[in-house]
Structure 1
Amino acid sequence: MKPLLPRRQVRELTRLRTWWFWLAGWVGLAVLAFVNGTVRVVVYQDLVGETAARQIATNLLIIMIGVYTVVLHRRCPLPDTRAALAVGMAWTALTLAFEFGVGHYVFGTAWAALLADYDLVQGRLWILVPIATLLAPALVRAGRRNRRPEGR
């Protein structure tokens, strides 16, 4: 029996499905970041101070990004490093666009205040979040690929 679609079209549809799955996965990242920031403000910021609380929240979010990316990769593995890097770039672009767009145009936060979160000299570690977001898909894909049993 002849297949309904040629293999090339099946591969393209699979790649497209994978791309949309991972692009939609960014919404989960946004939810994690929102919950993380809310917990920071409500639970421990008054106890440890704003700078320490932001540092703790940044590290927690980086861990959450890694775990979340592993979960997504188990559900829909990225086919190659190029796709993983493309997903990381898309996630990072969406994250920065959301952060600066909503921060400035919705909440009215000044550009200088938004950029202050990226000032390592002042103890702000937030720059590590976009870096983690960029690299997480490729690092998880590389790590998961290296864990495959022999013969696969």
Structure 2
Amino acid sequence: MRSSTVYRVWLPSWLGLLLLAVLNGTVRGTILQPRLGEETARRVATVVLLVALTAYVRRLQRRHPIPDAQHAWVVGMSWVVMTLGFEFGFGRLVAKLAWSELLADYDVRAGRIWVLVPLWTAVAPEVMRRLTLPQAPHEPETR
């Protein structure tokens, strides 16, 4: 797969990540949070989103394989930039949230694990690429 094809498929696929995150946030706010409380709901939703992102990236890799690590890292880093740009841009400009509110989800000392989402978003294309590489045939040992 040529570079332009990789980027033409994978970079716009970030919109799928965005859709998963928005759906996840909606479920967290409407279903999980009233039942579990805010902190537990946030942790559960983060884990659920990580699983959903993994399945999504795995499916993308199976349908449109990234040929090498360099392309995978460019995709992952691009997705992180788009994710953080959207998160902080929307948060500040549309939702009118303070920086302290936006950064609170990244405070691991306060028990927040959201930072795992951008970290996984960055590495997932390369991890899935490696996991789906064709395996070389196993040669029997000779004595």
Q: Report deviation, 1:150.
A: 2.4
Structure 1: 4+ residue segments shifted above 6 A: none
Are the aligned partners of 2:6 and 2:71 in contact in 1 as well (CA < 8 Å)?
Answer: no
Q: C-alpha separation between the residues in 2 aligned to 1:59 and 1:24?
A: 24
Letter in 1 for 2:47: N
Structure 1 match to 2:135:
148
State the secondary structure of the residue aligned to 1:40: helix
Structure 1 match to 2:118:
130
- Equivalenced residues, count: 138
Q: C-alpha separation between the residues in 2 aligned to 1:142 and 1:132?
A: 15
State the secondary structure of the residue aligned to 1:24: coil
Percentage of pairs with the same residue:
42
TM-score (norm 1): 0.87
Q: What is the alpha-carbon root mean square deviation over aligned residues? A: 1.3
Q: C-alpha separation between the residues in 1 aligned to 2:28 and 2:6?
A: 33
2:89 is the alignment partner of 1:101:
yes
Structure 1 match to 2:66:
78
2:28 is the alignment partner of 1:40:
yes
Q: C-alpha separation between the residues in 1 aligned to 2:110 and 2:35?
A: 20
TM-score (norm 2): 0.92
Q: C-alpha separation between the residues in 2 aligned to 1:148 and 1:61?
A: 29
1:29-58 CA-partner distances (Å, limit 9, x unpaired): 000000001011111111111000000000
Q: Report deviation, 1:122.
A: 1.1
Q: Report deviation, 1:149.
A: 5.8
Structure 2: unaligned runs, 5 residues or longer: 139-143
Q: How does 1:7-46 map to 2 (within 5 A)?
A: 14-46=2-34
2:37 is the alignment partner of 1:49:
yes
Letter in 1 for 2:74: A
